[in-house]
Amino acid sequence: MSERPDMPGHEPRTVLLRNGTVHSPADPFATAMVVERGGVAWVGSEGAADSFADGVDEVVDLDGALVTPAFTDAHVHTTATGLALTGLDLTGVPTLADALARVRAHAAARPADRVLLGHGWDASAWPERRPPSRRDLDEATGGRPLYLTRADVHSAVVTTALIELVPAVSGLPGQVLDAPLTGDAHHAVRAAAYAGLTPGQRAEAQAAALDRAASLGIGSLHECAGPEISGTDDLTALLALAAGRPGPRVVGYWAEAIASANEASRIRELGAIGAAGDLFVDGSLGSHTACLHEPYADGPHAGHTGTAHLDAAAVAAHVAACTEAGLQAGFHAIGDAALTAVVEGVRAAADKLGLARVRAARHRVEHAEMLTPEHIAGFAELALTASVQPAFDAAWGGDEALYAQRLGVERARTLNPYAALLRAGVPLALGSDSPVTPLDPWGTVRAAAFHRTPGHRISVRAAFTAHTRGGWRAVGRDDAGVLVPGAPADYAVWESGDLVVQVPDHRVASWSTDPRSGTPGLPDLTPGTPLPVCLSTVVGGRTVYSAHGGPNE
């Protein structure tokens, strides 16, 4: 992860924070911290802080607040997140009728938009158990172009007017009568819909997403872009916007397969650090497109096992090319068959180039939900980072929700096995896949610690580490995401209740809860308790969010 360039006229100030709790392995009882030249200069006790007070530009009285490393969200779609924040968001809408009412209201409120965009419908939770039909949407929009993604963003419903903008869609895979669009048909229509955005609309959406992230204590985002998700203009505009304004750091990934090291120059020219992110090996469970070894329990037809986009040979070729070019490779893989293709492909690349070389590249896999013990052993062997989204389990896990509908209860209980991954030594990086699930870092940590399948739970401490330091490690930085001298001064200040060392299940291994052990505490995340409230977020020593308002530094 590259450092944020200095912004003209805004040199970072030297600041002493004191009279709080600083979450740091350098001193588990720390109450104070000095920030200098964009980095952490010192962490220690209140008494020792006195010696720094006269030599700093500013002293901040924390008044008992908690200071932690800023969170890293390891999987975000920034423009789509901003559009959901500023536009039509159907997340949590209880019925089809309510969804159509929101579409009508949104269309009436945006008469000048060339294309209407929305997100978040989930028919599996509606009593009607069906998505909006094209006729429904034509009526609700008055015949205007509309692109409306399902909650998982792997399928979409659209109006006739939008289909007419993409005449070739009728011959593409994924266009089936009046069903939601999937696969190539979906990607083609999405490209047309996003092409309808003006640069101003895009910048407004991106800024809204970055501001929301900063307000939640998120200091870094991994943007998972790609030719089937958003255009090159979207990625380059986002990276430029993030570099030129106070806010979270943005690391770009571009999900395009490369066949040789020479093709890596295209990835670098875009400003991306890897040919990774949502390079699709399969689709999603919600849209019946995740690729499975055994058929879906509720598939659209008997024997349906989803959609495979890349096989093991294609995975191997991509990983080999990226490794030779010094780039990270990565894949979107959810179903067990897709994960088999990934593990077999990466192992084949390691056989060709050498295991140590492939391990050193820190290739990554997004989502990695339907893991078997053999997959987990492969991840550990190949040093693959699992970039995972615990909120998926919170939203769709359990014995009666979406995963159980798609897979049956027994298979659903195997999903998202975080404890087994950690036991095997697999690096975890937590994220949201926003707008699939909202930006919500403490909620994400809670979802991992209180997984719906008790055997998959991990400690709050482990989940917190995966959502802070884990995101930095996933981009090759082992010196960040933790408040120790020499680390980047990316931190957040929180109003929270009592700090505890929390293990939500007796089967979860933990550090000692005895205060004498010196294990730093974290907020109590027991379901039903209020989550911490962000008071300020600092990136590289500069304040990028303050709950008290006022301009950012």
Distance, CA of 221 to CA of 80 (rounded, Å): 14
Q: Using pLDDT thresholds of 50, 70 and 90, give the confidence band for residue 9.
A: very low
Q: Using pLDDT thresholds of 50, 70 and 90, give the confidence band for residue 396.
A: very high
Among residues 321, 365, 309, the alpha carbon closest in space to that of 342 is found at 365
Q: What is the total residue count of the chain?
A: 553
C-beta separation of 254 from 272 below 8 A: yes
What is the 8-class DSSP label of residue 181? B
Distance of CA 476 to the CA centre of its chain: 17
Q: Using pLDDT thresholds of 50, 70 and 90, give the confidence band for residue 386.
A: very high
Among residues 190, 160, 161, the alpha carbon closest in space to that of 174 is found at 190
The CATH number given to 14-70+483-496+532-546 is 2.30.40.10
Q: Give Rg (Cα) of the chain.
A: 23
> Domain 275-475 belongs to what topology?
TIM Barrel (3.20.20)
Angle at the Cα of 19 from the Cα atoms of 13 and 25, rounded to 5 degrees = 80
How is residue 458 written in tokens? Answer: 């991990």
Alpha helices, DSSP H only, in 144-217?
Answer: 160-163, 183-195, 199-215
Residue type, 539: V
Per-residue pLDDT tens for 169-207? 888 888 877 789 988 889 888 888 888 888 888 999 999
Among residues 491, 507, 502, 493, the alpha carbon closest in space to that of 527 is found at 502
CATH number for domain 78-198, candidates 3.10.310.70, 3.40.1080.10, 3.90.79.10, 3.20.10.10: 3.10.310.70
Alpha helices, DSSP H only, in 354-389?
Answer: 355-360, 373-382
C-beta separation of 241 from 208 below 8 A: no
Higher local confidence (pLDDT), 494 or 1: 494
Domain ranges of the chain: 14-70+483-496+532-546, 78-198, 275-475
User: Which pLDDT belongs to residue 507?
Assistant: 55
pLDDT above 90 covers a percentage of the chain that reads 77
Higher local confidence (pLDDT), 64 or 4: 64
Residue 186 phi, psi (nearest 5): -65, -45
Which residues is 542 bridged to in the sheet?
A: 539
User: Which pLDDT belongs to residue 10?
Assistant: 55
Environment class of residue 227 by beta-carbon count within 10 Å: exposed (0-12), middle (13-18) or buried (19+)?
Answer: middle
Same fold, 14-70+483-496+532-546 and 275-475: no
C-beta separation of 360 from 385 below 8 A: no
pLDDT above 70 covers a percentage of the chain that reads 95
Q: Is the peptide bond before 435 cis (omega within 30 degrees of 0)?
A: yes
